[in-house]
Amino acid sequence: MSAHLPRPPENASDRELVITRVFAAPRELVFKTWTEPQHVVRWWGPRGCTTTMREMDVRPGGVWRYVMRTPDGVDWDNRIRYHEVVANERLVYDHDGDVDDDPRGFHVITEFHARGEQTEVVMRMRFASVAARDEAVKRAGDGVSSTFDRLGELLGDLEVEFVLTRTFDAPRELVYRALTEAERLAQWWGPRGFTMQTRRHDLRPGGNYHYCMRAADGREIWGKFTYVEIDPPARLVFLNSFADAEGNTVRPPFDDDWPREILHTLTLTEQGGKTTVTLRGVPHNATPAQRATFLAGHKSMDGGYSSSFDELARHLAKG
């Protein structure tokens, strides 16, 4: 006969996982990337995963619900319930799988410390047991590191990011169709005075929209979208580049050192029957010189994309 002795209590520190990272960005900007949906979806989660928002209410008592899709296509429901929100300083919340009493749930305290021009982020995750913490490390330890890598990359992109917002007098579903259907894209995409011809359209992650823009004098410019994320009718992410007639990415036909690829993120929100489209563009796999050229070209890009959005508005007015 053996006696079952009570297990000694576990120290709180043994149940914690602490991650510290310093980012080359001001504290106010880093805090925004943790609390504003348009930023969060661009970095939250391990590399290769995508985050789809359900709701996000960052305040004490507020809830953030989202679905994280892994590279193999598996969806994971997540819920964050905020207990404390101190702007630019501190977030305290519980994180679980959107079910009460989730054994994998954990408590989080994230602090933001200004370090001159940089920001130190300290994230403390406390689990129900040492075993639960160890399981989390085994399951997602590398993922947490790559998640913070993605945040660092986003903060770098925000330094040179191009942003354009326009509200259209049309429902979101119709606007999304105009952004994703080849026959509609041909009616408005590209510089004024050019006609569009679609060579190939494969609307799926990894697929391409390969097209030709033809000027009145017969000159041809080929381009290509490579789709990264498709979430109708709320969000579309693709790489935009110049191409040849076979669909290969080519160097931009400019004298200056322009990036070969631009990552475009379009988000669509609807209110009162009108749709607001926000276009964000950042250089992809670009050199420092190319990023500087891109930043210097914002004014020119504003004129070009504004002209295209004017054409889109005229197209939408036709129904």
Cβ-based neighbour number of residue 271 at 10 Å: 9
CATH of the domain at 73: 3.30.530.20
Residue 241 pLDDT > 80: yes
Domain limits at 153?
12-158
Number of structural domains (the chain) is 2
Residues 6 or more apart whose CB falls under 8 angstroms from that of 83 comprise: 60, 61, 92, 93, 94
Angle at the Cα of 266 (from 265 to 271), degrees rounded to 5? Answer: 150
Runs of H (alpha helix) within 181-225: 182-185
Tokens linked to 130: 């040492």
Residue 79 lies in a domain: yes
Mean pLDDT score across all residues of the chain? 92
Residue 139 pLDDT > 80: no
Q: Distance between CA 296 and CA 292 in Å, rounded?
A: 6
Percent of the chain surpassing pLDDT 70: 96
Tokens linked to 105: 């749930």
Q: Distance between CA 241 and CA 214 in Å, rounded?
A: 16
Residues 6 or more apart whose CB falls under 8 angstroms from that of 169 comprise: 273, 274, 313, 316, 317
pLDDT for res 4 = 41
Residue 287 pLDDT > 80: yes
Residue 23 pLDDT > 60: yes
pLDDT for res 291 = 94
Residue 101 lies in a domain: yes
pLDDT for res 63 = 98
pLDDT for res 6 = 42
| Same-domain pairing of 166 and 310 | yes
| Same-domain pairing of 130 and 166 | no
Tokens linked to 177: 């169709």
